[in-house]
Amino acid sequence: MNGFPLEKSGLRYNQWLSALRKSGLLPRERLIPTLEVDVPNSLPALMSSRSGLTEEDRQKLRLDVARHSPWGYSIHLAEGVLTGRPENLERMVYRAHLIGNAIRDAARGLQKDWTVLDMACNHGYFGLQCAYQGATVFGADLRAENIEKAELLKRHFRIERASFAVQSVFETSGAFDVVLNLGLLYHVTDPYMLVKKTYDLCRKFAVIDTITHHSPVSAFIQRTNKNASHHAEGEFNVEYHPTYRALLDLMHSVGFKNLTEIVPASVTGRAQNHLYEKMERRCIIGFR
């Protein structure tokens, strides 16, 4: 008997979701307390920290950015200089405020020399934002090209308290006050071990930002035909997406005592991100 073709598995799943929506069986749930964070439309402080560059400086910066293309995220470096497409800047600004401001607020009770691990840091922006706020940061990523981009941003923003290395998150050791697990969970094949590693490495709290599915069960959805060579993908051409309930259950199962969801208190100007507003992406703080 022939199996269902892999290239049609996504279509079959989407058809099933559509049927659930029409039947009212796909609720948008919120089962834990929330931390409301303002999401202004203005650039985050880090993105606007390098003002007053000459046109010659900006041209050199453009060439440096071009040498490291393509970029997966649009980050404002200087007037007229972005790492990615202009139409993607709004989404990055939204996430920088939502996640960065929540980390800042949650870390207020920590000592001045607080430490941060940015797991699978990609271009390193969120770790650099923490360093800009006073943390000492270590970022790890599987791909050398991502670490090169992180180093470029570090030099440009003149951040001293951050270091980066080509390294699997499963090879990372030590203890950090805060662990960032951002956009990673839905790219792995062993979500339990990843979240357990997140818990084991953090002393105070961790932030897990991930795509989630609405299905009202605690389960993981297999997605196939992924391109593992892409800068933001995992190691394999298959991955497991958590449902919202699975994310909460998984975080509790590894030891996190209290969970809080980061949500926008206000969205001013044009800044919007429909993944969060539709609860198709969730950002959870887990406290030890």
Residue spans of the domains in the chain: they are 25-287
Quick one: DSSP state of residue 114? -
Q: Give Cβ neighbours of residue 117 (< 8 Å, ≥ 6 apart).
A: 137, 138, 139, 140, 172, 174, 176, 178, 179, 180, 201, 202
Tokens at residue 26, please?
A: 């796909």
25-287 belongs to CATH 3.40.50.150:
yes
Contacts 24+ apart (CB under 8 A), 154-159: 154/124, 154/128, 156/50, 156/61, 156/77, 157/46, 157/49, 157/50, 157/128, 157/132, 158/49, 158/50, 159/128, 159/131, 159/132
Mean pLDDT by 10 residues, the chain (288 residues): 52 76 83 93 94 93 95 94 94 95 90 91 97 96 95 97 96 96 94 98 97 91 72 72 96 97 77 77 96
Q: What is the pLDDT of residue 233?
A: 61
**For 139, phi and psi rounded to 5 degrees?**
-120, 135
